[in-house]
Amino acid sequence: MPFAFILDDDKSSKVPGTVILDDNTSNLAAAVHNFKHGNGSVILVPQPSEDPNDPLNWSYGKKMASFIVTLLGTCLYAGCTSPLLNAGMLVVAGDFNVSLTAVSMLAGEQMLAIAVSSPFVLALSRKYGKRLIYILSSSFSVIGTAICQSTDDFQVLRAGRIVQALGVTAYESLIMASVGDLFFVHQRGPYVATVNFMFAGVSNMVSVVSGSIVSSFGWRYQFHIFQACSVLQLLLQFFLSPETSYSRNAEQAITSLSGDQETPSDFHDKPAEFADTSVKHQECVTTQQTKTYWQSLALWGGIYSDDSLLQLWVATFAINLNIAVFYVALVQAFYSSLLVALAISIAQLFGLPPYNLSAAGIGYMSLGPFIGALVGLAFCGSLQDPLVRFLSRKNNGVYEPEFRLLLSPLSLATGAGLLGFGSLVGHQASHYACSALYGVALFGIIGCLSTTSSYVLDAFNDMSSELFVVGNCFKNFLFYGMSYVINDWITRSGPQSVFHILAGISFGIVAFMPVLYVFGKKYRRYWGDHNLLEKFHLRAGERRRGVEIAESTPPA
């Protein structure tokens, strides 16, 4: 029986994403003794180069400073920008004498701008690196916020929110790729969970805080506070976060295993065959000097891809030819769009009869989902990597990205939470209970986003940036649609019907997750042998393609 029900009976070629993670076995220790290791028997994946400027070789403090500053940008721009007006939507609508739907569309138009700009941002970052793009994004946010905080015209406010959207794009689309730049496979779980918490959880605390600010000082005051935070983040991004893009193929020695790549059961049944596998290791002698601090502040570090910007732009959409990647993008897009469906309906559901909550009270409704997201972060962040290391040891040291999907049943909590939330609101139950069920839904969303993000980052690392951009495009188009119809839909059909339909879709869309788990490795092998992107020459010139830790070739 295949290990953990992950099917793969073909051993004729390598499997992208399948790597040796732990050599604490008699069968693998001799074969991988030249690989670079972390603590104990854990093998570093990907293998770092000998270059001291390789982000994988940075000190822990330097890595964390870069990650935390970029994470702050994700928190501010991707997590806070859109929901900034949610708690005060009724107040804003009254001040400008516009409809509630018009105010909801401020967020929707922002999402549309993010969706349109994301592929261009990715192409530029692939070509010229991430540092310049991050700094430009922070600058756009500062400019957009300045417009929003100083206007008395609703149309100018709309324009300012769209400019703000250009500050969101990079921090929403590139942050996961930055995690892959800085951290090894066995370290990524907590960081991926934290990023998803910033996407899904922080927005709820924004509503809590902004509701109190709107009630006490007015809605413009929150833009004043947000502007101070944005300027601080821009300065920190410039001074503390060097370029993390790295042309790894040019510097890194390639380690290869020659001979059939056996399945885990074969390792146990026929150890002699694997013991005969030869190990080839080529040391990379480098004369690279460590960049000085001032050199690391350069906005542009060179060209990171030989492909044209047009090729890189087309590749962003061409990854949908990969069925697994397309499915994960759809799952992430729909589950993320539920955040908007819930967030922009709260003011309508609880600011009017029978609840009649104030802006502050509407904001406090987001405490439940914030706590739910926090629990999801703690659960996923603490379990993902230990589970992966445990299963890899049981699998004779071999890591399969599908191990990440074992926590995907957590996503079922989203459907359960939506069912309960819709029923309680439909029966005008306690708003405290409604907030609690809202929290259950957010717990499931964090679980879904964390497991699928970790999976695709490891299974298809060379196209993970494109996947997150495509997912964000899908998500933001759904956001736009949700913001356009959700308020009128609730008015027409009632909250119970609306949220029960969304719950049913959430259950249905994750029903294929077990199929991805069981057949994912077979599909990864198939894609490795029939990579359509390479056939269309959309990857051939890309110098910054990830290097597998182990590359197997059939025996002569």
Structure tokens at 260: 């059939």
Radius of gyration for the alpha carbons in the chain, expressed in angstroms and rounded? 24
Which range, of 1-10, 265-274, 295-304, averages the lowest pLDDT?
Answer: 265-274
Residue 65's pLDDT band, with cuts at 50, 70 and 90, is very high
Residue 544 pLDDT > 50: no
**What rounded mean pLDDT belongs to the chain?**
84
Residue 202 pLDDT > 80: yes
**pLDDT for position 278:** 31
- For the chain, give the longest Cα–Cα distance: 79
Residue 451 pLDDT > 60: yes
Residue 215's pLDDT band, with cuts at 50, 70 and 90, is confident
Residue with the bigger pLDDT between 548 and 514: it is: 514
Instruction: Work out whether the CA dihedral 155, 221, 199, 495 comes out positive or negative.
Output: negative
Coil, strand or helix: which one is 92? helix
- Taking phi over 0 as left and psi of -120 to 50 as alpha, with beta for the rest, 44 belongs to beta
| Angle (CA) 108 113 116, round 5° | 125
**Nearest CA-CA partner of 21 in 216, 189, 140:** 189
Residue with tokens 């405490």: 367
Residue 158's pLDDT band, with cuts at 50, 70 and 90, is very high
**pLDDT for position 282:** 44
Residue 541 pLDDT > 90: no
Residue 13's pLDDT band, with cuts at 50, 70 and 90, is low
Determine the Cα–Cα distance for residues 503 and 416; give it in Å rounded to an integer: 7
Residue with the bigger pLDDT between 457 and 264: it is: 457
With a CB cutoff of 8 Å and minimum separation 6, the contacts of 267 are 25, 27, 28, 274, 396, 398
**pLDDT for position 27:** 59
Determine the Cα–Cα distance for residues 312 and 533; give it in Å rounded to an integer: 11
| Candidate ranges 391-395, 494-498, 526-530, 534-538; pick with highest mean pLDDT | 494-498
**Nearest CA-CA partner of 202 in 381, 414, 446, 470:** 446
Coil, strand or helix: which one is 378? helix
Alpha-carbon distances of 305 from 7, 246, 337, 483, rounded to whole Å:
35, 10, 32, 37
Residue with the bigger pLDDT between 266 and 296: it is: 296
Which range, of 83-92, 278-287, 526-535, averages the lowest pLDDT?
Answer: 278-287
**Which CATH number is associated with domain 55-247+315-530?**
1.20.1250.20
Which range, of 169-178, 186-195, 414-423, 465-474, averages the lowest pLDDT?
Answer: 465-474
Structure tokens at 137: 């994004």
Determine the Cα–Cα distance for residues 137 and 114; give it in Å rounded to an integer: 11
| DSSP tag of 150 | T
Residue 408's pLDDT band, with cuts at 50, 70 and 90, is very high
**pLDDT for position 82:** 85
**pLDDT for position 435:** 95
**pLDDT for position 10:** 60
Pairing of strands 398-399, 19-20: antiparallel
Residue 272's pLDDT band, with cuts at 50, 70 and 90, is very low
**pLDDT for position 4:** 66
Determine the Cα–Cα distance for residues 119 and 430; give it in Å rounded to an integer: 44
Q: Give the burial class of 269: count Cβ atoms within 10 A of its Cβ; 0-12 exposed, 13-18 middle, 19 or more buried.
A: exposed
Please answer whether residues 484 and 445 qualify as being in contact, where contact means their C-beta atoms are separated by less than 8 angstroms.
no
Residue 281 pLDDT > 80: no
Q: How many Cβ atoms are within 10 Å of 147's Cβ, its own excluded?
A: 18
Residue 324 pLDDT > 60: yes
Residue 438 pLDDT > 50: yes
Main-chain phi, psi angles of 280, to 5 degrees: -115, 125
**pLDDT for position 38:** 76
**pLDDT for position 47:** 86
Residue 84 pLDDT > 50: yes
Q: How many residues does the chain have?
A: 556
Percent of the chain with pLDDT over 70: 85
Query: Residues 237-257: pLDDT tens digits?
Result: 999 999 999 887 533 433 333
Residue 40 pLDDT > 80: no
Determine the Cα–Cα distance for residues 13 and 526; give it in Å rounded to an integer: 9
Coil, strand or helix: which one is 552? strand
**pLDDT for position 181:** 93
Average pLDDT over residues 56-73: 96
| Candidate ranges 258-267, 315-324, 431-440; pick with highest mean pLDDT | 431-440
Residue 436 pLDDT > 80: yes
Residue ranges of the domains in the chain? Answer: 55-247+315-530
**pLDDT for position 39:** 76
Query: Residues 498-533: pLDDT tens digits?
Result: 999 999 999 999 999 999 999 999 999 999 888 888
